[in-house]
Structure 1
Amino acid sequence: MITKEQITADYRSIQDEICLALEGLDGKSKFAEELWERDGGGGGRTRVIQNGNILEKGGVNFSAVHGILPDVMKKALKVDSDDFFATGVSIVIHPNHPLVPIIHMNIRYFEMPSTMAGAEPVRWFGGGIDLTPHYVFEDDARFFHQSLKSVCDRFNADFYTRFKTWADDYFYIKHREETRGIGGIFYDKLVDNEHIRLETIFEFSKALGRTFAPTYIELVNRHRNETFTEQQQLWQYLRRSRYAEFNLVYDSGTKFGLETNGRIESILMSLPPTAKWVYNYQAEAGSEEEKTLSLLKKGINWI
């Protein structure tokens, strides 16, 4: 039976692996690490890279926290227990190049004792990866989704279709009526049952974490040496503003961190270094910007 100590150790290793891969990709900047402790129990390793050759700002965070679950989170999670343990790796990368996409990944594990005497603890995994291109390139979108489907198919034939739909619904900016990007996969509260064992879900979680670096490295290298215009960079800043809106208004991870007295700098490392809100911006008819907006929809089959 897998333990929270094993899960914690493996997630910590995945953080190390991804940081090394991203430093190699950038070729200039290195991650700065800050160790922190949470009031109430646990802590983490915040790692941030800034002002690189291609990575303008990025975070690869690990945490393992425990303590008393606030009432507002008990209600949100629909649980009765007071004690909780949570560990995970969370990543957001903002490139300095408008033709290179933003990427996000999160893998996490949650555990709390059952309120029924003698019952097994509540244990579940969640996570996902999604891509937010400033400009949607259809070949890149197909490559990204195929990479995720390949990982999903190794564990369950239904995972990709199920989790892709979940991502479309989750990464949706309701007040803009557009998706945050081209989606990816998203899952939450996967538990041990007769269809899939918890150990298999854990292996899937790790495999997903380890597909992050090779997938993103390929996408970055496809475009990093292309020239871009001032207008394209303005569009990048406008798209970043949508990213910020989603994270501050809808993202459950941000809400969980804030409600459980998490470290603010680590929680908000997902926000871009520069974003712009231009009043009533309208994309020019027939432009690449208009094309990108037309592809920020739920339900697009990229494979």
Structure 2
Amino acid sequence: MEGLMDDQRRRAAAWFRDLRDRITDAFEALEDRGPGEAAPGRFQVTPTERAGDGGGGIMSVMRGGRVFEKVGVNWSEVHGTLAPRAQAAMAARGVPGMAEDPRFWASGISLVAHMQNPHAPAVHMNTRMFWTPGAWWFGGGTDLNPCIEYDRDTAHFHDTLRAACAPHGTDYYDRFKAWADEYFFIPHRGRARGVGGIFYDDLNSGDWQADFDFTCAVGAAFLPAFLPLAEAHMADPFTEGDREVQLIHRGLYAEYNLVYDRGTKFGLETGHNADAVLMSLPPLAKWT
């Protein structure tokens, strides 16, 4: 399998990097159109390296822009040997051969945006491919996290995802929406962190091209799903009370990412750059 997957791994990594470039370009263009007289925000781009075996990526973070208070768009391609704890977790999930051979390769894009305006929703998106000597799979998704909810925004976001899923599986949207509702739930708060989206993992139908095409469709749907919402609300007037609601909701988001998020746990356990792994955390947050 390893030799046969070389081309597929190169194609997946290249797609994720190209998607990263398109999104950062679109976000900087939105900053140019943003309200106010301050200079438009720009991404600070930093190469990252994985400790130990190999690989790395690109960490792109923008802070204090006209539209985005903090946004990170990271791309990575890493490989090596899983630490015993991560190897055991993979073996427990039923990954073939993981108990005997802990080698892995992974590539993906990860994005979290926290907005200046409380009426503009925060958002998360990631897609990835994972390979071990015994298996490969895709995973990812996106979810909308408004602190002030607008039904029309939620409808637009979900309608865009539904349209992206439809050509790839008649049940994909319903299945992966339900998975997101479960995955992005915060048990200790008894509530979801936002208004949902889609989430999937361990996707291996046996047809690599079909699963890759679907993952590409999820990534390509992100800008049409989110950008109109950010642009619609970036100049909305807001009060100190709105800002307070935003900061408290960010505390909820931080709790989820530090306690439950799979990507955070995996990144830290496998020695990836900690700043890149934790770029999802908001710049400011409050707890009551």
TM-score (norm 2): 0.91
Q: Give the letter for the 1:13 counterpart.
A: D
Q: How far did residue 200 of structure 1 move?
A: 1.1
The 5 A counterparts of 1:72-83 are 72-78=85-91, 79-80=98-99, 81-83=101-103
CA offsets 1:109-158 (integer angstroms, 9 cap, x no match): 000112xxxxxxx1100000000001111111111100000000021111
Is 1:154 the counterpart of 2:191? The answer is no
Deviation by residue 1:179-218 (Cα, 9 ceiling, x = unmatched): 010010000010133xxx2211111111211111222110
Partner of 1:13: 18
Aligned-CA RMSD value:
1.0
Match of 2:139 in 1: 126
For each residue in 1:13-51, what CA deviation from the matched residue of structure 2 results, as whole angstroms up to 9, or x when unmatched? 111011101111111111111012212210000001111
Q: Mark the runs of 5 or more structure 2 residues left unpaired by the alignment.
A: 33-39, 92-97
2:277 to 267, 271, 286: 267
Confirm whether residue 256 of structure 1 aligns to residue 266 of structure 2.
yes
Q: Is the 8 A contact 1:105 1:212 kept in 2?
A: yes
Show the counterpart of 2:190: 177
Higher mean alpha-carbon deviation, 242-251 vs 221-230, is at: 221-230
Does residue 97 of the first structure (1) align with residue 102 of the second (2)? Answer: no
Partners of 2:48 and 2:230 in 1: CA distance: 31
SS for the counterpart of 1:74 is helix
Structure 1 counterpart of 2:150, from 134, 137, 152? 137
Structure 1, unaligned runs of 5 or more:
115-121, 279-303
Partner of 1:187: 200
CA distance in 2, matches of 1:52, 1:215: 21
Alpha-carbon separation, structure 2, partners of 1:18 and 1:221: 14
CA distance in 2, matches of 1:202, 1:175: 35
Correspondent of 2:49 among 2, 24, 37: 37
What's the TM-score once normalised by structure 1's chain length? Answer: 0.87
Displacement after TM superposition at 1:233 (Å): 0.2
Give the secondary-structure state (helix, strand or coil) at the position aligned to 1:58. strand
Give the structure 1 partner of residue 222 of structure 2. 212
C-alpha contact (below 8 Å) 1:61/1:91 kept by paired residues: yes
SS at match of 1:65: strand
Q: Is the 8 A contact 2:117 2:235 kept in 1?
A: no
Q: Which of 96, 99, 105 is the aligned partner of 1:85?
A: 105
AA in 1 matched with 2:25: L
The offset of 1:220, in angstroms, is 0.9
Deviation at 1:160, TM superposition (A): 0.2
With 72-81 and 42-51 compared, the bigger mean Cα shift is at 72-81
Amino acid at match of 1:49: M
The runs of at least 4 aligned residues of structure 1 exceeding 6 Å deviation read: none
Q: Give secondary structure in 1 for the equivalent of 2:106.
A: strand
Q: In the TM superposition, what is the alpha-carbon distance from 1:255 to its structure 2 partner?
A: 0.2
Once the two structures are superposed, the pairs formed by residues 189-204 of structure 1 within 5 Å of their partners are 189-193=202-206, 197-204=207-214
State the SS of the aligned residue for 1:3: helix
Q: Which residue of the other structure, out of 123, 133, 158, is the alignment partner of 1:113?
A: 133
